[in-house]
Amino acid sequence: MSKLDNKPNILNDEKSNIQRGAIGHRATWMALTYLEAKNAKKENDGEEFARKAIAKTGFKDGETLKKLCGEGEINCSEFADIFLTPILRNTFEVEFKNKTEDRLDVEFHHCPLLKAWQDLGIDDDTCAKLCDIAMEGDRNIAKGMGLEFHLGNTIAEGHPTCQISFFKK
């Protein structure tokens, strides 16, 4: 049984609940693919393939977001409004800690990916590994945007929130 506290507090938002389900479904695919590689004694290969694929997806998404932010230098505050839509904010229960032209610091109070892994009965250490693999997406969104990225504490490591920062180089 998981010791991680990842219970959502925003329960009455239909669109966010639908999005949580979709994100959780993709997280299930990711986890089961990784576990199949692990069971076949190819854990390192499975992790490498997952990281590369997720990184490519993140970079592509970052390039798309950069275009949506318009020409010129990236404004992290504008990026936040485009990237973290109101539905996504409720989905992950996002709290803005710092939102300026040069930096975006947020805390996520819920993770639908982790919820899916917990529902599968995956142990906490493997959940933390899957979380780090999944974060290749966000790391590479930053690269595609031309921004730096920092991942602080995560719920999957046993902390109350996930701390994520995007900032100018």
Q: Is residue 7 part of a domain?
A: no
Residue 4: inside a domain, yes or no? no
Measured CA to CA, the distance from residue 62 to residue 66 in angstroms comes to 6
Q: Which domain holds residue 147?
A: 14-167
Nearest to 80 by CA among 58, 100, 64, 63: 100
Sign for the pseudo-dihedral over CA of 83, 31, 153, 1: positive
Q: Is 74 part of a structural domain of the chain?
A: yes
Q: How far is CA 97 from the centre of its chain?
A: 17
Task: Identify the H or E element spanning 90.
Answer: helix 86-92
Q: CATH code at 36?
A: 3.30.1380.20
Query: How far apart (Å, rounded) are the C-alpha atoms in residues 148 and 22?
Result: 28
The whole-number pLDDT of residue 71 equals 87
Contact yes or no for 82/68 (Cβ under 8 A): yes
* pLDDT tens string 134-150: 999 999 999 999 999 99
Tens digits of residue pLDDT in 84-129 = 999 999 999 999 999 999 999 999 999 999 999 999 999 999 999 9
Torsion of CA 23, 25, 26, 30, to 10 degrees: 130
CA distance 124 to 26: 19
In a domain, 8, yes or no: no
Look at residue 9 and tell me if it is in a domain: no
Write down the residue that tokens 């490591």 correspond to.
157
How many domains does the chain divide into? 1
* Residue 134 falls inside a structural domain: yes
Residue 111 located in a structural domain: yes
Residue 1 inside a domain? The answer is no
23: pLDDT strictly greater than 90 = yes
Q: What is the pLDDT of residues 35-79, one digit of tens each?
A: 999 999 999 999 999 999 999 999 999 999 999 999 889 999 999
Specify the pLDDT at position 166: 99
Q: What's the confidence (pLDDT) of residue 2?
A: 80
Residue 74 near residue 66, CB atoms below 8 Å: yes
